[in-house]
Amino acid sequence: MSTTQRCILLVEDDPDHELLTIRALKKANIANDIHVARDGSEAVETLFGPDALKPQVILLDLKLPKLDGLEVLRRIRETDSTRTLPVVVLTSSDEERDVVRSYQLGVNSYIRKPVNFTDFAEATRQLGMYWLVLNECPPAN
């Protein structure tokens, strides 16, 4: 049975972006555990497998191997146990259709990854402060 945990699920296939995100969160003094899924199938297994994780927030890239981020988001939103989990798309995609489709599927926020590390670190700090400190999640099912 899954329980809500004060952790972050980072779904990211680019090892450099993974390291930058983790570094930026730690630099912002975000102490939550960070679980990483490196493709869409691993994200689905993490959320729906026998040891299902219910993170406080999911940071979801869209361009993923095996299952893309939009398919992962669709599965999250169609399942009662995960429907209310906060999902933030954190992607380099600047395609308008990705933004529109993400919101149609129920994403909570869509953030384009800034190109330079200073801007990326600041965006990640603000994202961490909002979703992990200020935001109140719904109670676990």
CATH number at residue 48: 3.40.50.2300
What whole-number distance in Å separates Cα of residue 80 and Cα of residue 97?
26
- Structure confidence at residue 140 (pLDDT): 62
What pTM value is reported for the model?
0.91
For residue 105, what are the domain limits? 3-131
- Tally of domains in the chain: 1
Residue 18 in any domain: the answer is yes
Stretch (H or E) spanning 87: strand 87-91
Residues with Cβ < 8 Å from 135, sequence gap 6 or more?
Answer: 57, 86
Query: Tokens representing 121?
Result: 């670190």
Residue 37 in any domain: the answer is yes
Name the band, by pLDDT with cuts 50, 70 and 90, for residue 141: low
Residue 87 in any domain: the answer is yes
Residue 140 in any domain: the answer is no
